[in-house]
Structure 1
Amino acid sequence: MPKHIIRHCQATAGLAVELAEKIAANGIEVNVDFVHRACLLHDIMRVCDFKKPLEHIFDSPADAEDLQKWRELSERYKGIRHEQAGYEFLKDKYPEIALAIKKHAYNALLEKENCPQTIEEKLVYYADKRAMHDKIVPLAERLEEGHRRNEQKNCQNKLNVQYVDSLIFELEKELFQLAAER
C-alpha cells in the first residue's frame, strides 16, 4: 500500500480500537483484534480508485516494484471500487475481514447487503469516516471534505448525501452510547 494510505489506515485503526476497547470494558462482546486488523486493511485496494497515473499521487516516491504491483492490481480490478476489490482480494483467506472491508463504502448504510451489521463492522465503517488522511477529525468536517472531493460522483449516482450523513451521525451516536462509561 502507498505510505499515505498506510497512515490513513493506522489512524482509522487507532480510533476504532479505542472505541472497541471502551465498548468491551462495558461488558459488550467485541473482537478488538479483528477491528484492528480490518482497519489496517480496509483500504488495501485503494489504488484501484486512483484516476491519475500512480507516479503522480504519492507524497513520497514509490519504487518501481511497488508501482508495478499497484498497476497490476488496478488493471486486475479495473472498474471495481476499492471496497469491493478489497473484498475480492481477501475473501478466500480472510472472509470476515473481507466482508468488513466491503461494508465500509460511504453509501453502504443504504444497501441491505452491504450495511455494517456487527459492532466490529460498524467500528471499521465509522472510524474510516472520521479519518481525514492520517488525522482524526470531527465527523462533520470529514464528511464535508469527502463531499467536496466526490461531488461529481455523488451527483452522477444521485446520492442523497444529507440522508447518508444523517445515518452516519446516528451510527456515531449508537457507538458512543456503547462506549460511554457506565
Structure 2
Amino acid sequence: MIPSIAQCFALMEQYAMLPNIRAHSLMVGRVAARIGQGLARSGHTLSLELIVSSALLHDIAKTATLETELRHDELGREICLKHSLDELAEIVAEHVILKGGMPERCSEKEVVYYADKRVLHDQVVGLEARLDYILHRYGNGDEMLHTRIRQNFAQAHAIEERLFAELDFPPEELGTQLDRDLFRLEGFGA
C-alpha cells in the first residue's frame, strides 16, 4: 500500500517525529516530487505517489533512534513493513546507503536517496554542503568512516549526473524549482 499524504502525516504523529525532522522530511518530499515530475516529463515511468510518500517517511524512525545505536534506516524499514507499506520499505531502508550499485535507470529509490542528500535540515543545498555536514555530525573524526561517507557521496554525485541528464534544469537550480503548494497542486490532498 502507498499511503496518502494525510496518512504519512498521521504516521509522523504516531511516531512522534520531532518538528525539525518533520520539516526536513517535508522538504525532501518537495525535492523528490520535483525531480520525479521532471523525470516523468522525460518519459520515465515512475510513481510520484511512491516517491513522495517514501520521501515523507524516510526518517520515520529518526526520533526513536536518537541517542541510541539503532539505525534509523533499518528501523524505518521495519515500521513500513509493520504498517503494510511494503512498497516503501526498501526505499526507506536504502535512503542512507544504496545497495547493489548503480542501476541502468534511476527508480523511485534513487530519487528519494538523492533528494535526502540535497536537503540540510530544511534547506536545499549542494551535495558538498551536505557532505561537509555529515562528516562533521556523524564522522566522529574516524578516517575510515570518513572514507565510507565520501564513497557514499561519490554515488550521490553519479546519481545526480544521471538524473540531471534527463531533467530540464541543472542541479544548481533545484531549490528555485520547488513549488510551495506542490502537494495540493498535484492532487496529493495534504
Per the TM alignment, residue 158 of structure 1 is displaced from its structure 2 partner at its CA by 6.8
Other-structure match for 2:180:
none
Other-structure match for 2:35:
19
Per the TM alignment, residue 5 of structure 1 is displaced from its structure 2 partner at its CA by 0.8
Other-structure match for 1:89:
79
Per the TM alignment, residue 166 of structure 1 is displaced from its structure 2 partner at its CA by 1.6
Other-structure match for 2:91:
100
Counterpart CA distance in 2 for 1:137 and 1:154 is: 25
CA-to-aligned-CA distance 1:138-161 (integer Å, 9 cap, x gap): 111111111111111754647433
Per the TM alignment, residue 79 of structure 1 is displaced from its structure 2 partner at its CA by 3.7
Deviates more, 1:9-18 or 1:162-171: 162-171
Q: What's the % identity of the aligned pairs?
A: 25
The TM-score normalised by the length of structure 1 is: 0.74
Instruction: Please provide the CA RMSD for this pair.
Output: 2.1
Structure 1: stretches of 5+ with no match in the other structure: 52-77
Tell me if structure 1 keeps the 8 A contact 2:127–2:153. no
Counterpart CA distance in 2 for 1:24 and 1:3 is: 31
1:142 aligns with 2:130: yes
Partner-residue secondary structure (3-state), 2:165 = helix
Deviates more, 1:6-15 or 1:164-173: 164-173
Counterpart CA distance in 1 for 2:34 and 2:90 is: 21
Structure 2: stretches of 5+ with no match in the other structure: 1-16, 170-190
Structure 1 segments, 4+ long, off by >6 Å, are none
Give aligned pairs, total: 150
The TM-score normalised by the length of structure 2 is: 0.72
Partner-residue secondary structure (3-state), 1:179 = coil
Other-structure match for 2:45:
29
CA-to-aligned-CA distance 1:30-80 (integer Å, 9 cap, x gap): 1111101001100000013312xxxxxxxxxxxxxxxxxxxxxxxxxx642
Partner-residue secondary structure (3-state), 1:44 = coil
